[in-house]
């Protein structure tokens, strides 16, 4: 980065400004004003609040109330979490989710049925509203067609990709031949 001409020029400009500011009249004026302000606010409680090195927010009453409130919310959420995890084993929602998402094929079938239902709902909704043309029909039909195609496969997509010639060709392009050949790095 420092071999850049632009950065080198900016660095020289900054060094020039810094060197010239060190003995300038502007710096003397600002120091004089700063010393005057310090003398005026010496012993002031109001200025002490803004100049203090203490962590004002952590020592304030509002921050303590905020911490108590957040801790209460966290304890309430942990309590609800314990109740839900204790009773979830035999629940209807847990059983449905474990059946619908048990493996890759089930997940694909679940999403396919969802996209078919979503596409049909969009078509019916547009017909009820009186819209018989538009991009929503095209998107709906594409969703339905791809979902039906994925339902017809009934296989794991990982197996299909692993047996695909094109996928293997692209994958082999990036494999490193460690038994023969030179390492290019």
**Does some domain include residue 14?**
yes
| 59 in the same domain as 46 | no
The top-scoring range by mean pLDDT among 30-34, 36-40, 91-95, 171-175 is 30-34
| 101 in the same domain as 156 | yes
Q: Which two tokens stand for residue 66?
A: 């905020």
Which residue shows structure tokens 């010393």? 35
Rg (CA), the chain: 35
Query: Whole-angstrom Cα distance, residue 34 to residue 23?
Result: 17
The C-alpha angle with vertex 153 and arms to 152 and 154, in degrees rounded to 5, equals: 95
pLDDT over 80 at 6, yes or no: no
Which residue range is the domain that position 21 belongs to? 5-51
Q: Quote the pLDDT of residue 117.
A: 92
| 62 in the same domain as 34 | no
| 132 in the same domain as 109 | yes
Q: Quote the pLDDT of residue 1.
A: 45
Q: Quote the pLDDT of residue 58.
A: 58
**Does some domain include residue 72?**
yes
Under the banding of pLDDT at 50, 70 and 90, the label for residue 57 is low
Average pLDDT value for residue range 47-72: 74
| 67 in the same domain as 37 | no
Under the banding of pLDDT at 50, 70 and 90, the label for residue 71 is very high
Sequence-distant (≥ 6) Cβ neighbours of residue 108 within 8 angstroms: 150, 157
Query: Whole-angstrom Cα distance, residue 85 to residue 180?
Result: 54
Helix (H) or strand (E) holding 163: none
| 58 in the same domain as 46 | no
Number of domains forming the structure of the chain: 3
Under the banding of pLDDT at 50, 70 and 90, the label for residue 60 is confident
High-pLDDT (> 90) share of the chain, %: 8
Average pLDDT value for residue range 161-178: 73
Cβ of 116: how many Cβ atoms within 10 Å?
A: 19
pTM value > 0.85: no
Query: Whole-angstrom Cα distance, residue 73 to residue 67?
Result: 10
- Report the chain's mean pLDDT, rounded to a whole number: 78
């Amino acid at each position: 980065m420092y071999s850049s001409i632009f950065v080198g020029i900016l660095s020289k400009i900054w060094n020039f400004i810094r060197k010239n500011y060190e003995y300038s009249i502007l710096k003397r004026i600002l120091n004089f004003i700063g010393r005057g302000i310090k003398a005026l606010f010496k012993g002031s409680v109001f200025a002490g609040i803004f100049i203090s090195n203490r962590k004002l927010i952590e020592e304030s009453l509002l921050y303590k109330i905020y911490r108590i409130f957040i801790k209460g919310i966290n304890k309430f959420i942990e309590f609800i979490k314990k109740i839900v995890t204790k009773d979830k084993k035999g629940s209807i929602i847990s059983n449905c989710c474990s059946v619908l998402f048990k493996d890759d094929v089930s997940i694909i079938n679940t999403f396919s049925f969802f996209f078919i239902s979503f596409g049909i709902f969009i078509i019916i909704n547009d017909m009820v509203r009186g819209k018989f043309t538009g991009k929503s029909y095209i998107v709906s039909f594409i969703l339905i067609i791809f979902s039906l195609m994925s339902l017809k496969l009934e296989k794991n997509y990982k197996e299909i990709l692993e047996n695909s010639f094109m996928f293997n060709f692209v994958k082999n392009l990036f494999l490193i031949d460690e038994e023969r050949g030179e390492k290019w790095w």
